[in-house]
């Protein structure tokens, strides 16, 4: 059996897929350890020893109108690089103390990939979203040069002389909890394996304030994520109005993390700060979201069609894949009005093709744990080789 170190950033959407991989490895008898944000890892009940990476870094301020290179540079300069610097002591300590045979490194924990290469430890990339995969082949040369130069400068600050050829994709391979429908074409030269949606390890529970489904009603879950909370306030307000203007037979569960909608009441709306998304999805008929990969994949794994209003980063690309595959409707986040939202929700609820396409994609997303068991299990028998084909 092998000792495997997982390195993850302090964001739930990244830790959840990694926890699925870790649960499979632990169940197969491999010894697992983590370098990451200890409170979140303990909350999710991950197996193995935890090497804490310190306080949670502040989320960079990226207004809703920030896109493209400006958004990318802000993410790297104010989140990914400081995160790599802040995690490095814990990563080095974990490598010294735990002495891993192999590492699984989240795509945004770029410092850990630098350390793995420096010390000669075999490592795979864990990509929580296909966003970088989709953009990699079309990335403009100046953008790629900037990313490589920024990685080189980071390595210098870590006291490391060299960097991986690609900081976002290990040369030994990438494990992606996604499916072909959401990934699209894999750029030439990248070794990437889809393992589907990793759900079996996730515990579900009843959440206070969320009612049971109402007979005879359609149920819609609205979740715009937590990273762009301020940018989502206007959209949530528009969604509230869409619910009031639409038929009473549609019940909306709106996740409002900041409480921006206040203590409003309507017979066909439930407002909640936080929900157990997996527990709810089985009772939903459709999902309205921002295009975050976890939410999209989990909805599709349950065969639920989507209305997607992407904000930035990988979200427009994921929304495009949903639309191209016929599993949902895409809205323009900045321009969506209540009438647009209501019309899009009506379409995915009443046009059967959306539900049929979502159910077809569900077949690509299920049995993720079995795929991880075969893929990573075979790789760990020869961890210095590339990911095998399974």
Q: What is the pLDDT of residues 132-166, one digit of tens each?
A: 886 676 666 788 888 899 999 999 999 999 999 88
Average pLDDT of the chain is: 89
- Contacts of 333 by beta carbon, 8 Å cutoff, 6+ apart: 64, 231, 235, 290, 309, 310, 311
* pLDDT: which is higher, 233 or 347: 347
* pLDDT: which is higher, 230 or 39: 39
pLDDT given for residue 97 in this prediction: 98
247 burial via Cβ count (<10 Å: 0-12, 13-18, 19+): exposed
In DSSP terms, which residues pair with 5 in a beta bridge? 33, 103
User: Per-residue pLDDT tens for 247-281?
Assistant: 999 999 999 988 989 989 999 999 999 898 988 99
User: Per-residue pLDDT tens for 89-137?
Assistant: 999 999 999 999 999 999 999 999 999 999 999 999 999 999 888 667 6
| Sheet with 250-255: strands ordered across | 269-272, 250-255, 218-223, 286-289, 306-308, 328-330
Q: Is 327 left (phi over 0), alpha (psi -120 to 50) or beta?
A: alpha
Whole-angstrom distance, CA of residue 303 vs CA of residue 282: 9
Q: Are 308 and 325 in contact (CB under 8 A)?
A: no
pLDDT given for residue 227 in this prediction: 57
pLDDT given for residue 214 in this prediction: 76
Whole-angstrom distance, CA of residue 380 vs CA of residue 361: 29
Residue spans of beta strands (DSSP E) within the chain: 3-7, 31-36, 49-52, 102-106, 123-126, 174-176, 192-194, 218-223, 250-255, 269-272, 286-289, 306-308, 328-330
User: Per-residue pLDDT tens for 199-209?
Assistant: 876 654 445 44
Q: Are 220 and 288 in contact (CB under 8 A)?
A: yes
User: Per-residue pLDDT tens for 162-195?
Assistant: 999 888 999 999 999 999 999 998 888 899 999 9
- Please determine, for residue 324, whether its predicted confidence score (pLDDT) is greater than 50: yes
How many other β-carbons are positioned within 10 Å of the β-carbon of residue 162? 10
pLDDT given for residue 390 in this prediction: 64
pLDDT given for residue 205 in this prediction: 46
Whole-angstrom distance, CA of residue 272 vs CA of residue 255: 5
- With a pLDDT cut of 90, the percent of the chain lying above it is 68
Residue spans of beta strands (DSSP E) within 198-301: 218-223, 250-255, 269-272, 286-289
Largest pairwise CA distance in the chain:
64
Look up the pTM and report it.
Answer: 0.90
Closest CA to 95 of 167, 155, 35: 35
- Contacts of 123 by beta carbon, 8 Å cutoff, 6+ apart: 102, 103, 104, 105, 112, 113, 116, 117, 170, 172
* pLDDT: which is higher, 258 or 214: 258
- Please determine, for residue 16, whether its predicted confidence score (pLDDT) is greater than 50: yes
Which letter does DSSP use for residue 385 in this model?
Answer: S
Whole-angstrom distance, CA of residue 327 vs CA of residue 354: 5
pLDDT given for residue 69 in this prediction: 73
């Amino acid at each position: 059996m092998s000792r495997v170190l997982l390195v993850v950033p302090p964001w739930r959407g990244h830790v959840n897929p990694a926890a699925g991989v870790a649960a499979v490895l632990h169940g197969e008898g491999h010894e697992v350890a983590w370098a990451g944000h200890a409170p979140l890892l303990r909350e999710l009940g991950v197996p193995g020893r935890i090497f804490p990476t310190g306080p949670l870094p502040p989320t960079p301020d990226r207004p809703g109108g920030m896109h493209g290179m400006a958004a990318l540079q802000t993410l790297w300069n104010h989140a990914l690089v400081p995160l790599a610097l802040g995690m490095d002591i814990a990563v080095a300590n974990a490598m010294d103390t735990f002495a891993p045979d192999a590492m699984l490194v989240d795509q945004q924990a770029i410092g850990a990939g630098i350390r793995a290469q420096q010390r000669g430890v075999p490592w795979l990339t864990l990509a929580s979203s296909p966003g970088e995969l989709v953009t990699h082949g079309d990335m403009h040369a100046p953008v790629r040069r900037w990313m490589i130069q920024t990685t080189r400068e980071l390595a210098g600050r870590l006291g490391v002389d060299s960097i991986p050829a690609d900081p976002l994709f290990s040369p030994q391979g990438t494990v992606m909890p996604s499916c072909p429908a959401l990934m699209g074409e894999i750029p030439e030269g990248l070794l990437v394996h889809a393992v589907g949606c990793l759900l079996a390890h996730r515990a579900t529970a009843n959440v206070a304030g969320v009612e049971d489904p109402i007979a005879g009603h359609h149920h819609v879950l609205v979740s715009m994520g937590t990273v762009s909370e301020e940018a989502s306030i206007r959209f949530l307000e528009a969604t509230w109005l869409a619910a009031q203007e639409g038929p009473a037979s549609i019940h909306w569960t709106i996740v409002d993390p900041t409480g921006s909608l206040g203590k409003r009441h309507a017979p066909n709306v439930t407002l909640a700060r936080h929900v157990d998304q997996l527990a709810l999805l089985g009772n939903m008929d459709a999902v309205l979201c921002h295009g975050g990969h976890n939410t999209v994949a989990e909805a599709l794994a349950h065969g639920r069609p989507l209305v997607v209003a992407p904000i930035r980063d990988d979200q427009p690309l994921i929304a495009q894949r949903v639309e191209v595959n016929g599993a949902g409707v895409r809205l323009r986040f900045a321009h969506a009005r209540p009438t647009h939202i209501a019309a899009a929700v009506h379409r995915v609820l009443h046009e059967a093709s959306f539900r049929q396409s979502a159910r077809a994609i569900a077949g690509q997303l299920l049995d993720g744990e079995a795929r991880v068991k075969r893929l990573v299990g075979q790789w760990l028998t020869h961890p210095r080789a590339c990911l095998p084909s399974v």
